[in-house]
Every structure is written in structure tokens, then in C-alpha cells.
Amino acid sequence: MDDLALCMGGHILAYVAGELDLATECIGRGLAMNTNLAIGWNFSGWVHMYLGKHQTSLEHLRHAARLSPRDPNVMQTRFGMAFAHIFDGQYEEALLITRRITEEFPTFMPAWRAMAVGHALGGDPALADKAAKKALELDPTGTVAVLASLMPLRRLQDRERWKDGLARAGFPQ
């Protein structure tokens, strides 16, 4: 089987079906076939973030960025890093990344959401409110209930942190 197909299939299994263990296995096999597949490392970083292995996630996402610094998917790699930092309690690191993303891609609403959560959990409710308002301006359907269901986070503490951050930032229930 093809390295890219294994990695992409693994990512789809994780995100769509929540099959995190099988996804990890597929992506690992794909990366064993091609250790220089940047998008495979990106997918691995996301799946490890879903699993709650945030330091491994960051290592894999950084590796993806190093392998392909001009990759058109670099925003997704950075965005994954921001989430891993949020779930690891490193809010300032997450905010540095989300600021950079929103400056480059001002209509990328998920980054505004992550920024709002980073500010809320980091103790800056005014900036959290501002970022949440921008996210809701871009997508008014973004409620805590809907947004909390979008990521297949395995660890309860990660799911609770995300929901708490969304609520504190001012997203409607």
C-alpha cells in the first residue's frame, strides 16, 4: 500500500470515525515507508493531539514543518501546534501561533476560536471575548455544544478543557 494513502486514511479514520488507535497504526506504517512525508508527520501530530499525547504531537508537527517549510498546508501544521499547546496548558505559546495564523489568514475562523479559548484559559477575558466575537462573526453557528463535538479527543480532561475554554470565551451554549 502507498505511504500517502496509509497516512491520509489514518487521518480520516481518526477525524471522521474516531478510530484513534487504528489511525495511529496506519499513519505509523505510512511513515515507516517514507520518513520524509511531511503531511504524514502532520497527520500524526494531529492524531497524537487527539490522543492526549501533546508533546509527541508537537514533535511530529514541528518535524512536518521542518521537512516542508513552504508547504501550502503549513497553516494546518501550525494550527495543530496551537491546539496541542492549549491542551498542554501552554496558552501563551498557543496564542503566539493563533495570532500569526489570523494575521496571515484573517478569515480562518477556527484560529479565532482557538485564540479565544487560549485567552479565556490564560486569564484574559477581554481578549477572549474579542476573538470569540470575530469567530462568531465568521460563523454564527459556533456554539459550545457544536464546537465541542468537532474533535475526537480521547482524554476527558482535554474535552473538558476545550468546552470550558469555549464557555469562558463567551461562545453560546
Environment class of 28 (CB within 10 Å of its CB; exposed 0-12, middle 13-18, buried 19+): middle
Nearest to 76 by CA among 49, 39, 50: 39
Model pTM greater than 0.85?
yes
The pLDDT, as a whole number, for residue 106 is 96
Q: What is d(CA 28, CA 48) in angstroms, rounded to the nearest whole number? A: 11
Percent of the chain with pLDDT over 70: 99
pLDDT at 72 over 90: no
Query: Could you give the CA distance from residue 82 to residue 77 in angstroms, rounded to a whole number?
Result: 9
Query: Sign of torsion, CA 90 137 142 109?
Result: negative
Q: What pLDDT, on a 0 to 100 scale, did the predictor assign at position 102?
A: 96
pLDDT band for position 73 (cuts 50, 70, 90)? confident
Query: Grid coordinates in use for 78?
Result: 501550525
Choose among 47, 48, 46, 50: nearest CA to 153.
50
pLDDT tens readout for residues 21-60? 999 999 999 999 999 999 999 999 999 999 999 999 999 9
Mean pLDDT along residues 7-30: 97
Indicate the residue type of 129. Answer: D
- Residue 8 has a pLDDT of 97
Q: Are 170 and 116 in contact (CB under 8 A)?
A: yes
Q: How far apart are CA 157 and CA 164, in angstroms?
A: 10
Q: How does the average pLDDT of the chain come out, rounded?
A: 96
Question: Mean pLDDT, to the nearest integer, of 69-73?
Answer: 86
The rounded distance, in Å, linking the Cα atoms of 54 and 97 is 16
pLDDT surpasses 70 at 61: yes
- Residues above pLDDT 90, as percent of the chain: 95
Tell me which fold the domain 1-88 belongs to: 1.25.40
CATH 1.25.40.10 domain range(s) in the chain: 1-88, 89-173
User: How wide is the angle at C-alpha 102 spanned by C-alphas 158 and 122, nearest 5°?
Assistant: 40
Cβ contact 98:82 at 8 Å: yes
Kindly tell me if the per-residue pLDDT of 1 is higher than 70: no
Each residue of 92-116: pLDDT tens digit? 999 999 999 999 999 999 999 999 9
d(C-alpha 96, C-alpha 68), whole Å = 21
Indicate the class that CATH gives domain 89-173: mainly alpha
